[in-house]
Structure 1
Amino acid sequence: MLSHRQLLILQAIVDDYVQSAEPIGSRSISKREDISFSPATIRNEMADLEEMGYLLKPHSSSGRVPSNDGYRLYVDHLLRPAPLQQHEILDMEKFFTRRISEVEAVMKKTAAVLSELTSYVSVVLGPEMEHTKLKQLQMLPLTGRQAIAILVTDSGHVEHRTFDIPKQMDSRELEKVVNILNEQLVDTPIGQWEEQLITETSRLLYQHVRHYEDMFGVLRDAFKTEKSDQVFYGGMMNLMMQPEFQDIDRIRMVFDWLDRSENVHTLLSRSQEGLNVRIGRENNIEAFANVSMITATYSIDGNTVGTLGVIGPTRMEYERVIRLMRQFATGLSTSLTKKYRQDR
């Protein structure tokens, strides 16, 4: 159990180290207005905090830096409310008062704005595709008996699926299929396509399309949906501006890991609901040993559909980033819920 004095000193060290990126000495702490202890007293307490694992001594100098355990204690118990600056508030208000037309564009913009405001890397896991709705469907013949289905969703996502046209079906029959599918599936969530095909859509295809049985099997395969979310990045170069990542090998490890979107997808999709902070080795990723990640989930009508993430050094401005993440998650949830209610 840390004493009140030790907590004050640890808090001061973290605050100063976040700003300076240089080891903090007892003399600099004693000059702070909120610290009334002598340099000798602070030096003794710093030695004790180091022994307990909350501080590290990076080299022979007398300065100390927070350890992962020190950051964890700071985040869990010592954070103070950090008001956003006026320009940050205005940027977010401007962003979230815009009418959302395409969700995919909003995800890209969210990643860009979040990285700009934090000066770290931002990662946004878009809504699960099964929650998005079909906006338009086209089918275009290719060479031979192959055709391509072009699906455009209300998120702005465009997907291409190739399929084989049954031998007995000509272009006029294919056009009938497209018309029926557009009439029946537009505004239907992707996750409900298969059910819709089996029920009302199959009845209409049976009534109006010859060789319906052959085409129905093709359609079920072409429209089979899997859970797939999109990952959007912002400010990838921001990490290179941080002193901790001047080591080329260290930054390459982080970039190589982030370059595989399936890694990020898995990491974000496993995030617990609400806001979470993972510091250094808590990420259980070798490349993230010196990286902190703050995530916040967002929702539509109260149902969690995606995750926002900010990635930076363990020497992160936790207070400000946490406040930004909470505001962004709330604003994005409100905007997306409004859009989906309007589109119903």
Structure 2
Amino acid sequence: MLSERQRMILNAIVDDYIRSAEPVGSRSISKRGDVAFSPATIRNEMSDLEEMGFLEQPHTSAGRIPSHKGYRYYVDHLVNYETLSTHELNAMKVFFADKLQEMEQVFQHAAAILSNLTNYTSIILGPEVFSTTLKRMQIIPLDERSGVAIFVTNTGHVENKIVDIPEGMSIGDIEKAVNLLNAKLANVPLYQLKSKLYSKVGEELNKYVDHYEEMVSLLESALDHEEHDRVYLSGATNMLMQPEFKDVDKVKLILDTLGETPAVVQMLAASPEGIQVKIGSENSIEAINNCSLITASYSIDGQCLGTVGILGPTRMEYGRVIRILDHLSKDMAVVLAKWYK
């Protein structure tokens, strides 16, 4: 798709922009030792790369910056996976040196290491996000307008909360809805319950009960559960240090999203196994459409237990972050194995 010269120039622009956060001009590219082309030739190629959608020209600047398409091409074809430094390797060896007594300490420790090494935001989903499932749910009316929802997981964890019962909704309809939910959603992982409520329960529910929309809303409220002990974040405010996030409203939107556990779970839980890179609008959550999210799964004996992620600007050190995530996710699997064997 791109000529060797275009690949070389795109690679140089992405590398320079990652380091400087400033638009890159043809003259600065021509001064690099690994690019043997004149500024005029480079300008022509930059214009062609812009027409093809790999570069953008911000404002009236003569320089260019990579587009999301340009970053995607860079990650897929050009990125250099640098060797980790002694400092980075030693920081991750803390896993083996420290005597971490609780699984929660492992996740907190790993999240802190990742954010410190990368200066981005680290997010870890613990195994409970994937392995904890719904066993059963009940809604017991307290009076005509309120009830208590009891939520039991396969691990024996029990939560209960008060829910509002819409006016005119009968106890019989509530029982039908809860029985249908238990039949369809038993053994479904907790993070999938909301989406499965609509895809597996919604249509059938509409056939058997009155007040369909109110009933779905009641069940959705009953399924709300605390996930804070399964999600670990570190370095959320590192976004403030990135020059592209000088817009306070933009940063606030990202920080608000990171504070919403269901949104964070949605960001990472759908990631396939292995290393995955989502750039800009490839992310499903609009608030992080100007960010890149790199994730790595950690597994024991072939079973995926959880996900480690790094969230940062699209101007991210992709090669270095991917290496760090790959290394640390494997270390996590080694440390966690003692809890599963």
- TM-score calculated relative to the size of structure 2: 0.71
Query: Residues 240-275 of structure 1: CA distance to partner in whole angstroms, max 9, x if unpaired?
Result: 000011101110111111110111112211110011
- The CA distance in 1 between the partners of 2:104 and 2:314, in whole Å, is 30
What is the deviation of 1:127? 1.1
User: Are residues 1:329 and 2:329 paired?
Assistant: yes
User: Hey, what's the Cα distance between the residues in 2 that align with 1:80 and 1:258?
Assistant: 29
Task: Give the conservation status (yes or no) of the 8 Å contact 1:82–1:323.
Answer: yes
1:145-160 paired onto structure 2 within 5 Å: none
Deviations 1:77-101 (A, max 9, x none): 0012201111111111122343442
Q: Which blocks of at least 5 consecutive residues in structure 1 are unaligned?
A: 133-152, 154-158, 164-190, 192-225
For the pair 1:288 / 2:295, whether they are aligned, the reply is no
2:5 is aligned with 1:5: yes
* Distance change >3 Å, CA 39–CA 304, structure 1 → 2: same
CA distance in 1, matches of 2:45, 2:129: 53
3-state SS of paired residue (1:332): helix
Whether the 8 Å CA contact 2:14–2:71 is kept in 1: the answer is: yes
Q: Which amino acid aligns with 1:27?
A: R
Decide whether aligned partners of structure 1 residues 75 and 130 sit closer, same or farther in structure 2, where only a CA change above 3 A counts: closer
The structural deviation recorded for 1:227 is 11
Distance 2:245 2:9 in 1: 27
Does the 8 Å contact 2:124/2:233 carry over to 1? yes
Amino acid at match of 1:321: V
Per the alignment, residue 195 of structure 1 pairs with none
1:251 aligns with 2:248: no
Percent pairwise identity:
53
Counterpart residue identity of residue 114, structure 1: L
Partner SS state of residue 63, structure 2: coil
Q: SS state of the match for residue 2, structure 1?
A: coil
Corresponding position: 1:267 with 2:267: yes
Deviation digits for residues 272-310 of structure 1 (CA, Å, limit 9, x no counterpart)? 001100000000322112100000011233211110010
**AA matched with 1:36:** A
Q: What amino acid does structure 2 have at the position aligned with 1:258?
A: L
Measured after TM superposition, the shift of residue 61 of structure 1 is 1.6
Shift of 1:74: 0.1
2:273 & 2:17 partners in 1: Cα distance? Answer: 30
Query: CA 1:105–1:40 in structure 2 vs 1: closer, same or farther (change >3 Å)?
Result: same
For structure 2, the residue ranges without an aligned partner over 5 or more in a row are 133-154, 162-186, 188-224
Partner of 1:69: 69
Aligned-partner Cα distance in 1 for 2:319–2:127: 27
> Are the aligned partners of 2:29 and 2:35 in contact in 1 as well (CA < 8 Å)?
yes
**Amino acid aligned to 2:65:** V
Please, what TM-score do these two structures have when normalized by structure 1?
Answer: 0.70
Q: C-alpha separation between the residues in 1 aligned to 2:255 and 2:329?
A: 25
Contact 1:120/1:239, CA 8 A, preserved across alignment: yes
SS in 2 for 1:24: coil
Q: Give the secondary structure class of the aligned counterpart of 1:233.
A: strand
| Distance (whole Å) between structure 2 residues aligned to residue 59 and residue 41 of structure 1 | 23
C-alpha RMSD of matched pairs (Å):
2.4
Query: Per the alignment, do residues 300 and 101 of structure 1 end up closer, same or farther by CA in structure 2, a change over 3 Å counting?
Result: farther
> How far, CA to CA, are the matches of 2:319 and 2:36 in structure 1?
24
Match of 1:188 in 2: none
1:199 maps to none
Which amino acid in the other structure matches residue 293 of structure 2?
M
Separation of aligned partners in 2, 1:126 and 1:70? 33
Q: CA deviation at 1:162?
A: 7.4
Q: SS of the residue aligned with 1:84?
A: coil
- Tell me which residue corresponds to 1:172: none
- Counterpart of 1:260, as a letter, is E
- Aligned structure 1 segments of 4 or more residues deviating by more than 4 angstroms: 129-132, 159-163, 226-229
Change (3 A) 1:129 1:58: closer
Answer yes or no: is 1:26 the counterpart of 2:58.
no
Q: Do the aligned residues in 2 keep the contact of 1:130 with 1:227 (CA within 8 Å)?
A: no
Contact 1:100 1:336 in 2 (8 A): no
Aligned length: 257
CA shift, 1:161, in A, is 5.7
Q: 1:108-257, aligned counterparts within 5 Å?
A: 108-128=108-128, 230-257=230-257
Q: Which residue of 1 aligns with 2:57?
A: 57
1:68/1:279 contact within 8 Å kept: yes
Kindly indicate whether the alpha-carbon contact (under 8 Å) linking 2:95 and 2:331 is maintained by their aligned counterparts in 1. no
1:14 counterpart = 2:14 = yes
- Whole-angstrom CA distance in 1 between matches of 2:12 and 2:323: 20
Distance 1:33 1:131 in 2: 51
